[in-house]
Amino acid sequence: MVLREQLLENNKRQTCMDEKTIVRAGYDAIAAKYLKTRSEDSEDVQLLQELVQRLPKGAKVLDAGCGAGVPVTRYLIKFFDVTGVDFAEEQIRLARQLVPGAHFLCQDITQLTLADNFFDAICSYYAIIHIPRQEHKELLLNFQRMLKPPGLALLCLGADDLEKDIHVYHGTRMYWSHYDTETNLNLVKECGFAIIWSKVVADSTSPGASHLFVLAQKDCA
């Protein structure tokens, strides 16, 4: 790589790190506040029934960007063997207290090196929308790699085009980045998934906001 390309690559990496630092520090600061906004019976939580209906009891499920583990990990642990991953230490500390039956890792979900064909399902609620969108393809390909065929992915992605947004959220700086619905659906397919359904769901924690939820299956063709 020539020097100019190397410098550009380094700059890109540094920017992503700064954005991730904003998200990690932000959720460390607002973990308890955010938890209070989460409801156990909102439409997004009801969608988890789709995994219960399709997977055997005890199936291995990854909750990527699990936050404090409530309500999603706590719902999943009633049926499955669940691993929750989040890079905000305070979120993981709360999750270990609130969902003692699950395994938790404090790690960036874009850096997961767990085995190929390991999970029966991967669920990710409201985390991918905080990751620079140029990393979404690699992240989805890595999810696909870790899924045991014909594993399921239940993903919350962006519904609208948003290259980058930083604003104050629950009193802290926060960062978002995502593609629109059509681009996301194409991306999921390009990454080796067949889409079972997709729907735009209103965010019960942020009036006026909505996100794309997708249930997809590792494409074995």
Distance CA 67, CA 69 (A): 5
Distance CA 207, CA 41 (A): 16
Q: Cβ 151 to ligand SAM, closest distance in Å?
A: 19
29 vs 219 by CB, closer to ligand SAM: 29
6 vs 14 by CB, closer to ligand SAM: 14
**CA-only gyration radius of the chain, Å:** 17
67 vs 158 by CB, closer to ligand SAM: 67
Q: Cβ 100 to ligand SAM, closest distance in Å?
A: 17
43 vs 182 by CB, closer to ligand SAM: 43
Q: Is-contact 174 31, C-beta < 8 A?
A: no
Structure tokens at 160: 């609208």
Q: Which residues bind ligand SAM (CB under 6 A)?
A: 20, 23-24, 27, 38, 65-67, 72, 86-88, 91, 108-110, 125-127, 130-131
Q: Cβ 91 to ligand SAM, closest distance in Å?
A: 4
From the CB of residue 46, how many other CB atoms can be counted at a distance below 10 Å? 11
Q: Which of 213, 58, 193 is nearest to 120 (CA)?
A: 58
109 vs 216 by CB, closer to ligand SAM: 109
72 vs 212 by CB, closer to ligand SAM: 72
Q: Cβ 147 to ligand SAM, closest distance in Å?
A: 18
Q: Cβ 84 to ligand SAM, closest distance in Å?
A: 9
Q: Cβ 165 to ligand SAM, closest distance in Å?
A: 14
Nearest residue to the partner ligand SAM, using Cβ: 67
